[in-house]
Amino acid sequence: MTSEKYHKTIVSTLGYILSEDAKSVLQVHRIGQADDQNHGKYSGVGGKLKRGEDVATCMMREIREETGLEVVTMKLRGTVCWADFGPEKQDWLAFIFLVTCFEGEPFPENDEGPLKWVKIDKIYDLPMWKGDAHFLPLIFDSDPRPFYGFMRYEGEEPKDWKYVR
């Protein structure tokens, strides 16, 4: 038995929804709530796992609630553990999905802000968490293997990034 300290981790999902032509991804511009730790940034959609919910069900629920879309096909692309993230220095474990087929039309906006289709090659020009640029290429690349990443933050700066496939 080791004396390592275990901690509570927030478990969440994060989804990137591809357009029908697979050239754009649906992003939320987080300007809807002034107290949002992601305020002003763009991101995929997702949220925290509810008690008794599996990660796939959570992802489909979050997409339905935040975009109005029904997932038909999605694939787990990887996980990222963010340590000391945000103003409360919390640890998060996110299951990151790529949605390749859906039904419906996305809402123009949700409580977090407007939803916008963004060309994948332009996503890096958007205001986002600096650490996102490390794992986003792994979501959209052609390697079929999922990635498992770890990123430590100091304030808004990523200090460590490593992953395995």
pLDDT tens for 67-95 read 999 999 999 999 999 999 877 888 999 99
pTM passes above 0.85: yes
Within a domain: 64: yes
123 assigned to some structural domain? yes
pLDDT at 97: 98
| pLDDT per position as a tens digit, 102-144 | 999 999 999 999 999 999 999 999 999 999 999 999 999 999 9
Number of domains in the chain: 1
| 62 domain residue, yes or no | yes
Taking the CB of residue 21, how many other CB atoms lie within 10 A of it?
6
Assess if residue 118 is contained within a domain.
Answer: yes
> Does 1 reside within a domain?
no
Domain presence at residue 2: no
β-bridge pairing 10-18 and 90-103:
parallel
Residue 39 has pLDDT above 80, yes or no: yes
Residue 23 has pLDDT above 90, yes or no: yes
Look up tokens 């949605």; give the residue. Answer: 99
Residue 71 within a domain: yes
Tell me which residue range forms the domain holding 68: 10-159
Q: Is residue 148 part of a domain?
A: yes
Phi, psi (degrees; rounded to nearest 5) at 112: -85, -25
Q: What is the CATH number of the domain that holds 22?
A: 3.90.79.10
